[in-house]
Amino acid sequence: MAGDNEAIERYLENLALEVVSLESGDIPSMGKIMNILCSLEEACEGISQPIFESLVKGAKQYLENLILGEINDTAPLEKAVSSLQEVYKSIARGGGYKGDLTETLAQLGVELPKGDEDEGNDRPEQIDGEQEGENQVETEGEAKEAKEQSVQKELSDEDKEIMADFVVEALENLSTIEVNLIELENDPEDADTINAIFRPFHTIKGVSGFLNLDEINRLSHSAENLLDMARSGELAIDAAVIDIILESVDMLKEMIEDVRKALESGQRPIHEREIDSLIERIQEIIAGSKEHKDKPIGELLVEKGAVEKHEMEAALEEQKKKPDKKVGEILVEKGIVESKEVITALREQKRSGNKKVDLQVKVDTKKLDTLVDMTGELVIAQAILRQNEKILSISDQRLYYALNQLYQISSTLQKTAMAMRMIPIKSTFQKMLRLVRDLSRSSGKKVSLKMSGEDTEIDRNVVEEIYEPMVHMIRNAVDHGIEPPEERRAKGKSEEGTVELKAYQKGSNIIIEITDDGRGLDKDRILEKAVSRGIIPEGVQLSEGEIYNLIFKPGFSTAETITEISGRGVGMDVVKKAIEKLRGRVEIQSQPGKGSTFVIALPLTLAIVDGIIVKTAGQRYIIPALGILKSFKPRPGDYSTVEGRGEMIMVRGELIPLVRLAKLFELSDSSADPWEGLAVVVENEGEKLCLFVDELVGKEEVVIKSLGEGLKHVKGLAGGAILGDGRVGLILDIAGLFQITREGAQQAYQGLQRVA
């Protein structure tokens, strides 16, 4: 019998998985479900529970009608499978099922088997209240002991794998729900959005059910019921409904994190979070909506103030004379109310369940990263082959044709592999909707978020890394940028502030702009704070851009008070470090009283860098194109020296420090005249440098390689790349070069002071 029990459990799990994703008209899936039901029916012949057999037969009968197209509602079948799981759990515990399945069986088209009408017929009557209490205590003790034994039992490898998949997919589904809930708040009657929220809850409920994650199942089921009423038009979506669903999402996230932690220890998860009060509040909303729904339409219209009581009474009298007409129709004809006030079923017409969706396959990210790495190695290998001197000396057209074909194939393969890692930035942008909503409420400000360019694609790894910096910047925009409603009114602005997120591609980079229409940055105040904190010396002359960039210094803050949102002097320096880590840069534009814009420029991918290959002292370096402003051959008249600041080059009326790469990396101490070589102007945080090199080799996309643990902390170097001749070229770190230059200038200045 143990073998039968294992088979039944397996059939029920497979059944739940298939039914969760079943769509009306999906005949192949229905065929699979029918086969499972037939196998289940054979396996449960030894079970002496008529209710279980009736459920299986009813499910088969209902499924046959679905296949024939006589019905198209899959909900009763889902309910039947859920009931089968509950009944079998009771059987496995050695007792009988005591629930009421009359409604479930009725929906399937079968009757309750005889002998099960009285749910207490197999229990002996209690002699008195004392005995009942003793039995109850004993039952609770047994249940607690069984639960403890269940927790102590370690998970099998198969169970761990299934639960790990559930954790990942459930968290993805909850993120989708959050995004769609914010959209639903803006358009509460959008049936497509309601469906988009309902489906993930339904999936979580179904999968958590067969995994025996009862608490997750209960909460997701309650939230699903709430949304089901909204789908059918029985419940109006308002702020209270949105809030309680968001609260359910937050609780489910915590519970799923509990599952993740349990998996790490190899134990079965046990939930100790209090969800009963949350479920009760959901039930209260559902009950209140049902009470509201049970009222006649006339009474509801009177309560809303759409019609007067005497007008309704007159309409009811007229309906008695014309029974074929409805009250709402009479009121509309008389012009007393508009049709939209009595028609709520229009939302159902907006449903479009036949949208074509591209087939997708989920791939382990490690496998994807390996594919990208190996493709990069292939590109390097073919480049080395193409530039091999012995290969070039062969005069064979067929060989050149094969090499060109190899180049085309490897190049296409590389682009395809990179494209597989590219995802729209939309998911990151939409997470900010919830953030702005919560910040708006906690700060007492009215703030809306506008987005554009959400479909811009970027490397998955970049998307993950840019999330935290964007959260910091949005927080600062709401807390420091957007003014309170009364202050905005006094300035002639609308009470509601706006934060705008924009993304677009520019060359091989993605640009993200975060704009607010708030008070803007106060240059004088920033400068004053920087001096008072010792960040810069008093009396120093800085450009507007350099002043704005002071807010990225560690510990800098102009907040007068510390709030829950910001004001502790942490955040913006984290933003800068995170963006530089991604080989990006950030610029600030601001107008006092009108707002600020933070412009983030990032590479589309972290695996490849688009750069200029330069040569100096016989060595080749790669300068990332993102930081290059221009390259030119200086004229003697452009060159000058400044005491304490070294060599300078005049570029468009601006003196820019000249840095000799060969000297910087101690390759040679050449004092060649600048006009004998080339100058490459690079920029970082509003500062500029002229890098003096011998020649420009060319522009190329190269695959980035790590320098290893021993060299990863070397200033001025971001990595290496294998070039076409098989030799290594070092990739320069622009921010690191500026840091080395500043330190060198400071040491030289201190040396001059000591001499003086």
- Positions annotated as catalytic residues are 202, 224, 476
Cα separations (Å) of 355 from 70, 179, 192, 575, 714?
22, 20, 11, 40, 53
Q: Determine the straight-line distance between the first and last CA of the chain, rounded to whole angstroms.
A: 98
In 3-state terms the chain splits into helix, strand, coil percentages (rounded to 5) of 55, 15, 30
Using CA atoms, how far apart are residues 743 and 718, in angstroms rounded to an integer?
A: 19
| Helices and strands (H, E) in the chain, number of each type | 26, 18
Using CA atoms, how far apart are residues 688 and 654, in angstroms rounded to an integer?
A: 10
User: What are the start-end ranges of the E strands in 391-465?
Assistant: 422-424, 446-452, 457-459
Residue 566, SS3 per DSSP: coil
Using CA atoms, how far apart are residues 635 and 699, in angstroms rounded to an integer?
A: 24
Q: Which of 606, 594, 406 is nearest to 493 (CA)?
A: 594
Buried b (16+ CB within 10 A) or exposed e, 406-436: eeeebeeebeebbeebbeebbebbbbbbbbb
- Angle among Cα 507, 511, 517 to the nearest 5 degrees reads 145
Which amino acid makes up residue 89?
A: K
215 contacts 240 by C-beta, under 8 angstroms = no
Sign of CA dihedral 382, 383, 387, 388: negative
Beta bridge partners of 620: 615
Q: Which of 482, 520, 515 is nearest to 598 (CA)?
A: 515
Using CA atoms, how far apart are residues 589 and 502, in angstroms rounded to an integer?
A: 15
